[in-house]
Amino acid sequence: MFKKITIFSIICILSFTLVSGLPVYAKTQSQIKQELSDSQDKEKDAKADYEAKKKKEAQIEAEIKTLEKTIAATEDELKTLESEISANNAKIEEIEIEIAAMEANVQRQNEDLSARLRMMYESGDGSLVEVLLGSESINDFLGGLDIVKKIHAYDMEVLDDLNAQLAKIEEKKAELDAIKNELKANQDKQIQKRESLASDKKKLVAAEAQAHKETVEAQEDYEAAQKASDALESELRSFRSKNEWAGTVVIGNGRLGWPCSGRITSEYGYRTRPNYGYTQLHSGIDIAVPTGTPIRAAESGVVYSAGWKGSYGNCVIIDHGNMEGKSITTLYGHNSSLAVSVGQSVTRGQVIAYAGSTGNSTGPHCHFEVRVTGVAQNPRGWL
């Protein structure tokens, strides 16, 4: 196992080294197009993802709002219940006072009645004597007896009435107690509902926070994807404008195409070198380009030379055969690497090398020469 891992690691390190050691080539237009298409696909996906997450977040927000309404309604209901309960309690209290007063009244009436009856009983005939003494006639006496009976009957009536009232009040009290219990049960239910709603809300708020975080991340991804696509689009635009320039700018007879596009840092011609006391011919034009820029064949032909060529560094020479009755060759110097080999047929615009700064060179550029029957001429006359 250890051995396997070690070998695998070495392979990884080696391939990494190999990859990073490769020269950096400029991308071709079709590569950029492919990258742009991939990037646009990614952008589309990222946009869909972002929108889905935004929607989910909005849904949770809406759910929270609905829940908040339910919570408010529950609170209102609880308040109503509480006031109903307190009104009910006040009523119960009132009735209890009423019952107590009635009970006291019944008690007193009862006592009065008992006292009177006891007195009448204890006095025996005495009362009758009193009634008799107080009576002016026998008729009065008889009448007095009637009064005693009537008083007794009245007392009994009052007592019955009081007892009936008391029973009614007790009934009412029981009714109120039932209402009170029902209200209390409702209140308990509402309180439970409130607690469950609060816990639901807590969960939703947490879900919303998570959804928001995800939305923000998706938005960032989407924006990054947009940026990547924009960068590739501008890369493609600049590639096109560069190539259009390279392909269309005609300054001479236009017989040859530009090997690459860039700033001309040195023209063809004789340079005086005061420090050395002589003049020297610069046999081509120097086009400054970044290392790795594709160098293209100025015209179709056969590779005459491909390899190291002294101060030219990595150099390619293409033989174009007869053009306008003259034998024409083109030379491309200072490349970082070559893409063709001797004897190979190439077409106009085909990549034959990648720019560099090999040989006698102070910076990455393409030294481009046009040779007419073996003698260097100003390439501008041919471009």
Interface residue list for Zn ion (CB under 5 A): 286, 367
| Chain centroid, CA 56 distance in Å | 9
Q: What are the angstrom distances between the C-alpha of 232 and each of 46, 52, 153, 227?
A: 17, 26, 116, 9
Our CB check for Zn ion shows the closer of 286 and 299 to be: 286
CB of 367 to Zn ion, least distance (A): 3
| Residue 34 Cβ vs Zn ion, minimum distance, rounded to whole Å | 35
Q: How far is the CB of 376 from Zn ion (least distance, A)?
A: 10
Residue closer to Zn ion by CB (options 199, 265) is 265
- Which residue is nearest to Zn ion, using beta carbons? 367
Name which of 320 and 367 has its Cβ closer to Zn ion: 367
Our CB check for Zn ion shows the closer of 144 and 313 to be 313
Residue 360 makes CB contacts below 8 A (sequence gap 6+) with 310, 311, 312, 313
| Stretch (H or E) spanning 345 | strand 345-346
Q: What does each C-alpha distance from 66 to 57, 73, 190, 204, 345 come to in angstroms?
A: 14, 11, 17, 11, 76
The least distance separating Zn ion from the CB of residue 302, rounded to whole angstroms, comes to 24
Distance CA(221)–CA(129), nearest Å, equals: 119
> How far apart (Å, rounded) are the C-alpha atoms in residues 273 and 286?
18
Question: For residue 317, what are the contacts with CB-CB under 8 A and spacing of at least 6?
Answer: 303, 304, 305, 306, 329, 330, 331, 332
Angstrom distance (rounded) from CA 341 to CA 266: 28
Comparing CB distances to Zn ion, the nearer of 162 and 315 is: 315
Min separation Cβ 322 and Zn ion, Å = 26
- Closest separation in Å from C-beta 361 to Zn ion: 8
Closest CB to Zn ion among 53 and 367? 367
Q: What is the CA radius of gyration of the chain?
A: 57
Q: Are 333 and 283 in contact (CB under 8 A)?
A: no
